[in-house]
Chains A and B, each alone.
Chain A
Amino acid sequence: MTGDDRRGQHVMTPEAIRELVYLSYQAYEHGERSFLTDLLHDNVQFIMHCPPEALPVPNRICGKAALLAAFKKIDEVVIVERTELQLVIVENDWASVICDRTLRQRASGRVMRYKVAAFQRYSNARLIEYHGFTDSVDLMEQAIGRELDLPNAFPSAGTG
């Protein structure tokens, strides 16, 4: 499923990337952090478009060591109960996914269930770029255990 191009780079086929994506999400669900250690490129760029108050990590992380530290921090605060890939789209070195994830906060026992959309780029069978998106208002409300005080921004709200 892989080959070498003229620069000696390890080229992955879409099928190989798709398989790697499924394996990595299974590994994350099952707490197999050593798989992620192998998966991450040393210079990985990780951006989670979500406030750090919802998950206790910076939303922009550069480098494998910092990202592994962030995963460790998340593991200290929440238990990953379920990670179900709903969609995986692959082209060239990019994969885009939609994942349905359930976490449980260790301190409160609260369950947080949310969808994450992600764009992932792979280089030499390593994850080098990640952009994650979620409905962060919903996630924040689940994290703090109450609804946010949001006013109706527009008088027309609710008429649609």
Chain B
Amino acid sequence: MRAAVRDIFDAYAKQDFGRVAARIDDDIQWVIYGPRQVFPFTGPRAGKRAVLDALAMIAKDYMIESHIPKIMVVDGDRAAVLSEVIVRQRTSNRALNFRIANFLRLRNGKIVEFEEFVDTFDVTEQALGRWINLN
């Protein structure tokens, strides 16, 4: 289990999307929480095709500079991973630096459930390149 999780994160960090795709179950349930108007790839996705589309949307807008798992908790068929991430926004060349929490369930070495949490307020400000006005 741990080896499979490490392989998934290693493949994603290296932007080896073929290897990532091979680790996605056809019936995956997937969600990235966040504001869709800023990050169009957020929200729930069902099925491998929809998840690959979301990954393609991420890759269209952002280039991964580093994606390093710092904490990995593995329990049965589930894992939780806290990673430190740096991505570069292609349109602005801005670097976005944040921590991310991923929760996965694997079946036969493939992801069947995926949830992603991030401090969306902070990452949105980084993506927009300005503070969000709260007044």
Contacts and interface: CB of A to CB of B under 8 A. Distances in A.
Interface of A: 14, 49-51, 53-54, 87, 89-91, 94-96, 98, 115, 117, 119, 131, 133-140, 144, 148-154, 156-160
Contact of B75 (A89, A115, A157): A89
A86 B101 CA distance: 15
B35 A150 contact: yes
Contacts of A98: 103, 115
Contacts of A91: 73-75
B78 A87 contact: yes
Given A135-B120, A136-B120, A89 B73 contact: yes
Q: Which label, helix, strand, loop or mixed, suits the secondary structure of the B interface? A: mixed
Interface centre among B74, B75, B118, B132 (most CB of A within 10 A): B75
Given A50-B121, A149-B133, A131 B82 contact: yes
Contacts of B117: 115, 117, 133-135
A159 B48 CA distance: 18
Given A89-B79, A154-B40, A133 B119 contact: yes
Contact of B119 (A136, A154, A160): A136
Interface stretch (B8-16, B21-29, B54-62): B54-62
Contacts of B53: 160
Contacts of A119: 71, 73, 80, 82, 101
A115 B40 contact: no
A149 B132 CA distance: 8
5 contacts: A91-B75, A119-B80, A150-B128, A157-B36, A157-B38
Nearest to A159: B40
Nearest to A129: B71
Contacts of B121: 50-51, 54, 136-137, 139-140
A10 B99 CA distance: 31
Given A119-B71, A135-B34, A160-B53, A150 B124 contact: yes
A136 B127 CA distance: 15
Given A159-B40, A160-B53, A160-B54, A14 B75 contact: yes
Contacts of B35: 137-138, 148, 150
B73 A153 contact: no
B33 A151 contact: no
Nearest to B80: A96
Given A119-B71, A157-B36, A148 B127 contact: no
Interface string B31-58: 0011111111100000000000110010
